[in-house]
Amino acid sequence: METRRNRPLDGVTVIDFGQVYQGPYATYLMAMAGATVIKIEPLGGEPVRQRRVISPVAAAPFAMLNGHKKCIALDIKSEAGKEIVRGLVKNADVLLENFAPGVMDKLGIGYEALRQINPRLVYASGSGYGLSGPDRDNLAMDVTVQAASGLMSVTGFPDGPPVKAGPALVDFLSGIHLYAGVMTVLYERQFTGVGRLVEVSMQETVFPAFASNLSFLYENNQVPPRTGNRHGGLATAPYNVYPTRDGYISIIAIKEGHWNKLLDAMGRQDLLTNPDFNSKAARVRNLEQTDQLITDWSSKLGRDEAMEILRKHKVPSAPVRDLVEVANDPHMHERGILEWIDHPEFGRVVVSNNPIIFHGAERARAVPSADLGAHTGEVLAGMLGMSEDEIEALDKQGVIGRA
């Protein structure tokens, strides 16, 4: 009997049809937790891998999300390709896809068909707007869902247009929910012995993040404004980004104790009893004056100098760092969350480990993502018992691709 590795998902087999960011991130978390993830791509590769036609490193995000996966290339529109999927599903625990709703059903390899083959299968579907409802078939990408979900409407400054979040926030937020959904059903399966369909809508994962903005709606009965770097509900002050001589810092004071420590840091204990600033309500009422008070202090200092003072006084704060600083962050590298690797296709890139740390379990180290079809032969032989002649025949027929 094969010895089980000390990783939470060791022994779990995942069939991964994920593409771009949402699906691949969910299955990457599974792979880093020990699952065997078989990534199935079309013969030309999934969309992010295809970006290499733009430039040699345009596809580098692929390396971030697809290490520790076995990559196979398969034409799932062909009958032989569908049969391979059905064969793989027989002994799989999870199948995850984030195609448009109905795509897998039309191919005859959707949930209803596959659960007949394997009732224990956890089938995870990620989509823009869900598998039902009037908006089901609307095309969805991160930026369009940011628009439709309301995220853009509250992002930016009051005198400017709506702005998208800098990173692909919705793709990854929904990817995390996909992972959580799969884990929840895997837990349930221990008791029921059967899997189920679990779905995640990109738009629906955004709404809870509006907690502060909705408080403004309820209190003022009007559309929440764009507040720049201020609190979304305009209910906390200070809460902003402030300039220094050579950069910016973020400061927030949720509690009165935070404000008192900030006054100590700025050397303005004289304001402790000032009625314009001596309560959160007063500071919100005098928002412009509160921010100007801090700006007058911070703008005379260098970013690191200001941060040293704020940390000494235990004021909730952080420097606004660029991605070069973050990618080389000693803290995250020491914790093993970030790791530089030499990728055979993309050169030296930084990749992230699983942010969910399982204490006492073996930690997966970063590895380069595999070439398109690198494991096709291995998977077909190992999981389906195919001979080399059978695999070669499928290759010649254009059903599969091999590296």
Q: Which of 171, 246, 291, 296 is catalytic?
A: 171
* End-to-end Cα spacing for the chain: 31
What are the backbone angles phi and psi of residue 167, rounded to the nearest 5°?
-85, 175
Helix axes 388-397, 376-384, angle to 10 degrees: 130
φ/ψ of residue 52, rounded to 5 = -65, -15
> Does the active-site annotation cover 264?
no
Amino acid code (one letter) for 293: L
Q: Which residue has the tokens 């599969």?
A: 400
Chain length of the chain: 403
What are the residue numbers of the active site? Answer: 171
